[in-house]
Chain A
């Protein structure tokens, strides 16, 4: 019954685990390890799904050699390849869409604002906001509103937050999770998963800002930007700003991190281990 166990594992990693992990908010205090666990669980789930047909093969062959049943073997491999293809197509579509949106946006930003020499561009707009355009030819974008509203040390916190996103290529991480999210059938998507990953990415960037400017300055910058924004209800941001501010002072959490790493290793090792068992 190992193929069934592998299918169950795929379901658990793709569907059940993300729901449970999104509820374990304590792992937000170890964001790097938690993000690694999220990635490992996603990869493990996909891997388990890919390996199910191959694990079924020994059962279908009933002790015969693979070469005696070429068609059965080909079918099993084909099903695996189909699952992989679905993932690759989804990845291609998401990637193309995101790159097009970024390129279009970068063109507008480049026409509107000159580079200040440090890769930062300014839009002449009163609403205080800051963001980055990741990918090739990345940009940090600030509005006149944020420049006017924040003192220099808080601006440094905001810019460092955005630079941390670009340095650590958080866009690739988010792209990966968007791809997994879209390639999983809608009914099997864990609702809070993508939001939790996004929050963890923000927490990581906040930590970079804290290292550069300190907890108080980063916290003040968060409030200042939030206050300047038009109240924005219904975006589903899930009250992330206060959560992020309270996490600024979380410090290092070695036990939590160790637990997250252990989960990551388990999620990656189990699928190939079950496949190996099916063939012995």
Chain B
């Protein structure tokens, strides 16, 4: 699978950091130091890296931040469920139809009730060929 050199690791970190924010979703938000402390237990990770990752996430509008004295407090812009729902919506109806079908390749576009009946009949035909 082709990957650019730096993005998989950073992409992975972005997910881990988001998971931290989701886990500690409080009204007051989380500081870089708090995220770093939570992550540093499990992996070798620099404070500045956490800062960079949070900054990237903020630029992508996945997290919001507020100044609290000398530190920034970060918060996930949407809950995990809301973001999942948004992602699913995007695959189904956010884009122009022509674009969506060329941008993402789905195993199956939706099927109507009549089509499902037809599919069952077709499956019976396929299975019949394999039982003789």
Contact = CB atoms under 8 A, between A and B. Distances in A.
A89 interface: no
Contacts of A148: none
A129 B87 contact: no
The majority secondary structure among interface residues of chain B is: helix
A116 interface: no
B68 interface: no
A171 B125 CA distance: 31
A29 interface: no
Contacts of B81: 124
Contacts of A190: none
Nearest to A121: B15
A249 B126 contact: yes
B87 A108 contact: yes
Q: A132, A165, A246: which has the most chain B beta carbons within 10 Å?
A: A246
Interface in A215-254: 215-216, 219-220, 222-223, 225-227, 229-233, 235-237, 239-242, 245-246, 248-249
A86 interface: no
B102 A242 contact: no
Interface string B107-120: 11111110110111
The majority secondary structure among interface residues of chain A is: helix
Given A124-B84, A133-B104, A242 B18 contact: no
A162 B7 contact: no
A215 B130 contact: yes
B112 A232 contact: yes
A239 B110 contact: no
Given A111-B83, A114-B15, A174-B102, A245 B123 contact: yes
Nearest to A97: B99
A257 B126 CA distance: 23
B93 to A, nearest CB: 9
B116 A237 contact: no
A161 interface: yes
Contact of B97 (A104, A134, A219, A235): A235
A198 interface: yes
A187 interface: no
B105 A158 contact: no
A212 interface: no
A237 B109 contact: yes
A15 to B, nearest CB: 18
Given A219-B123, A222-B108, A246-B122, A108 B115 contact: no
Interface in B1-59: 1-4, 7-8, 11-12, 14-15, 18, 57
Given A110-B15, A127-B88, A219-B123, A231 B111 contact: yes
Contacts of A5: none
Contact of B87 (A109, A162, A170, A205): A109
Given A110-B14, A129-B91, A131-B107, A242 B130 contact: no
Nearest to B2: A136
Interface of B: 1-4, 7-8, 11-12, 14-15, 18, 57, 60, 62, 80-81, 83-88, 90-91, 95, 97-113, 115-116, 118-123, 125-127, 129-130
Given A108-B90, A194-B98, A222-B119, 4 more contacts: A101-B95, A130-B107, A178-B102, A231-B112
Identify the 5 closest CB pairs spanning chains A and B, nearest first: A232-B110, A237-B109, A226-B111, A245-B122, A242-B118
